[in-house]
RNA sequence: GACCCCGUAGCUCAGUGGUAGAGCAUCUGACUUUUAAUCAGAGGGCCGCAGGUUCGAUCCCUGCCGGGGUCACCA
């Protein structure tokens, strides 16, 4: 860091501009979309001309806004007689020879107060600062006449000039102390495309992503505490598998082969169980080349867990325990939240219902032994639009999705799907037409899927072959045969229970978010048409 | 992929077949404990893009682009 004193006009807190560099005054040469950006570039130039470095290297930040606001006591302000905080200017009230402004750091906001007669030169520099600039503050803490804990500025340092006007969100407090927002930055397209601005001006967005992060930490530490191993398996796969979905295809130049972005981790994780690990999990991105809507993003995060010597009944109670434990840590209580504000209590044991019983309840007749054509007729009767080529599994799935799923608000395990719907699950010990499988629904959303894993290689081959026939007859989501996976099962996989959880959807329920886009920092958007992209 | 809704100033939004308004933000001035600071003044817009109808389109029609929603597919 350069020492102070080259330019006598520069006072203590301001970093000195390095005059060995040639700064061009961009405000003179560049075309700007709006005069506010031009003005800020002009200010940037003026700051440099005055010897102020607008992009210095560090600041000795010793306090957060929150530490000061929660720790300050009027009867003894001495612990806060010398604080240093850093943050972004979010509001500025200039009153002639005194100015109040709020700065925002990672913990919150705090007001600062600066007087012209105390800091004449820095006060002059303050004229060149704007909402959005990042500054460092040193000073002492006091309480204003109107009661707000405030930093009396003794030194102000510019840490980063902001060259774009930020949306200015004003906060008003009503008599009850509730915060009323004015002109909140709410355009969804802009919020998702410029998430950094969204995060700056919308505190609830920041909180949502903190909850998401803590949720994942809580899941990880829960799984670690059981001694299970977190592992990594390939994202780029020569044969994709583990789910019924369309993949993204790419190409590996080195070997001149097509590769697929994974749609699931399943088949690799089960190979690790074959290899002797008795509990493995992976939290990772999956990619599915399918629709985009409130519940689906082309890339999404899933947890998959496999535990040897266990079955799906055991996994069901583990899932309950995991969710209750994570919700308690993250939300402070065993509950989840729908976007309409409904609180969904997580009370063990969760409701359990066989899939075919759930459909039977909805249609008013037993469906266990219906043929494909009878199921098709049932779909027609309930006005479910479905292709005549649909498989039996697809028909059952359609009936369930249309008639049952929307009503599953309280946590509900749906069990024992037909084997045709579950090509990687072990047959039910009491009924070979069904699989030992459960899906967990909460708030009308599927958030978990689990089974007693199929480890009979002959049965697995037959299931794959059935999938291959579906694929040949036009179902492009059906699985492809993975010979090496069958080889692994021939080597022998112990009885194993497997679980998958949709992390994004769980994050929605932890935060009450209405859309998956609200729990993914950068949801997929169609690329913006800018002048530069149009040219290229 | 189909249908519905939306696109006006940096942000949030009004509005009309006769080429535009508000609040905040910005700029100028006043103001040394303000807080949606206040007061006085000013600037700022290819009204998403391209066609069409019209003497005249931001408004009406068509297409396109972008977004949101519903459905379909999926988790």
Q: Is the CB of A295 under 7 A from strand B?
A: yes
> Residue A441 CB closer than 7 angstroms to strand B?
no
Report the nucleotide nearest the CA of residue A172, measured to C1'. Answer: B36
User: Residue A10: is its pLDDT beyond 80?
Assistant: no
Could you report the per-residue pLDDT of A156-166, keeping only the tens digit for each?
A: 999 999 999 99
Q: What angle do CA A222, A224, A226 make, to 5 degrees?
A: 80
pLDDT digits (tens, 9 = 90+) for A405-463: 888 889 999 999 999 889 999 999 999 999 999 999 999 899 999 999 999 999 999 99
SS (H, E, C) A238-266: CCCCCCCCCCCEEEECCCCEEEEECCCCH
The model carries a pTM of 0.91
**What's the complex ipTM?**
0.90
* Interior angle at CA A384, CA A381 and CA A389, nearest 5: 100
The answer to whether A477 CB sits below 7 Å from nucleic acid chain B is yes
Question: What is the predicted pLDDT for the residue at A15?
Answer: 61
The token pair at A313 is 């009944």
Point out the residue nearest to B39 (C-alpha to C1'): A95
Secondary structure (DSSP) of A216-233: HHHHHHHHHHTTPEE---
CB proximity A307–strand B (7 Å threshold): no
Nearest nucleic acid nucleotide to A289, CA to C1' distance? B74
Statement: residue A77 has pLDDT above 80: yes
Q: Angle between the A457-472 and A483-491 helix axes, to the nearest 10 degrees?
A: 170
Report the distance from CA of residue A132 to the C1' of nucleotide B20 in Å, as an integer.
30
The reply to whether the CB atom of residue A197 sits less than 7 A from any atom in nucleic acid chain B is no
CA nearest neighbour of A442 among A323, A359, A328: A323
Nearest protein residue to the C1' atom of B71, measured from CA: A385
SS3 A232: coil
Using the structure block, give the residue that is written with the tokens 């980063």.
A160
Compute the half-sphere exposure of residue A283: CA atoms within 13 Å on the CB side of its CA.
15
> Closest nucleotide to A287's CA, by C1' atom?
B75
């Amino acid at each position: 860091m350069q020492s102070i004193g080259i330019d006598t006009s520069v006072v203590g807190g301001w970093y000195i501009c390095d005059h060995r560099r040639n700064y061009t005054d961009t405000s003179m040469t560049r075309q700007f979309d709006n005069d506010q950006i031009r003005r800020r570039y002009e200010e940037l130039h003026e700051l440099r001309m005055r010897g102020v470095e607008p992009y210095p290297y560090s600041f000795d930040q010793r306090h957060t806004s929150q530490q000061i606001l929660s720790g300050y006591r009027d009867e003894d302000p001495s612990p806060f007689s010398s604080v240093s905080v850093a943050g972004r200017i979010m509001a500025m009230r200039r009153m002639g020879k005194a100015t109040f402004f709020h700065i925002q750091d990672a913990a919150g906001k705090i007001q600062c107060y600066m007087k012209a007669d105390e800091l004449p030169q820095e006060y002059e520099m303050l004229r060149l600062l704007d909402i959005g600039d990042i500054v460092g503050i040193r000073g002492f803490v006091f309480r204003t006449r109107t009661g707000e804990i405030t930093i009396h500025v003794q030194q102000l340092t510019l840490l980063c000039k902001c060259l774009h006007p930020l949306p200015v969100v004003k906060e008003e407090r009503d008599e009850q102390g509730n915060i009323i927002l004015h002109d909140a930055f709410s355009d969804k397209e802009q919020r998702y495309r410029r998430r950094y601005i969204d995060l700056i001006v919308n505190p609830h967005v920041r909180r949502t992503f903190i909850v998401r992060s803590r949720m994942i930490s809580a899941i990880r530490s829960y799984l670690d505490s059981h001694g299970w191993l977190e592992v990594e398996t390939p994202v780029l796969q020569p044969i994709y598998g583990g789910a019924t979905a369309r993949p993204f295809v790419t190409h590996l130049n080195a070997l001149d082969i097509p590769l697929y972005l994974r749609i699931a981790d399943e088949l690799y994780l089960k190979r690790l169980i074959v290899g002797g690990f008795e509990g493995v999990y992976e939290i990772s991105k999956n990619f599915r080349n399918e629709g985009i809507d409130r519940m689906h993003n082309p890339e999404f995060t899933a947890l998959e867990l496999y535990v040897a010597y266990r079955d799906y009944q055991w996994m069901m109670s583990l899932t309950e325990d995991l969710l209750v434990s994570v919700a308690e840590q993250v939300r402070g209580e065993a509950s989840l939240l729908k976007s309409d504000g409904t609180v969904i209590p997580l009370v063990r044991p969760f409701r359990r219902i066989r899939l075919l019983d759930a459909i039977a309840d909805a249609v008013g007749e037993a469906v266990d032994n219906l043929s494909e054509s009878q199921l098709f007729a049932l779909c027609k009767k309930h006005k479910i639009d479905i292709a005549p080529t649909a498989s039996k599994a697809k028909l059952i799935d359609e009936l369930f999705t249309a008639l049952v799923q929307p009503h599953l608000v309280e946590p509900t395990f749906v069990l024992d799907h037909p084997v045709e719907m579950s090509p990687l699950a072990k047959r039910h010990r009491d009924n070979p037409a069904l699989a030992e499988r459960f899906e967990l629904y909460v708030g009308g959303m599927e958030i978990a899927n689990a089974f007693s894993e199929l480890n009979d290689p002959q049965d697995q081959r037959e299931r794959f072959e059935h999938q291959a026939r579906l694929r040949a007859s036009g179902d492009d989501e059906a699985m492809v045969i993975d010979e090496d996976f069958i080889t692994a099962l021939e080597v022998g996989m112990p009885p194993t229970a497997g679980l998958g959880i949709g992390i994004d959807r769980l994050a929605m329920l932890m935060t009450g978010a209405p859309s998956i886009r609200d729990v993914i920092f950068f949801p997929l958007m169609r690329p913006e048409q800018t002048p530069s992209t149009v040219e290229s």
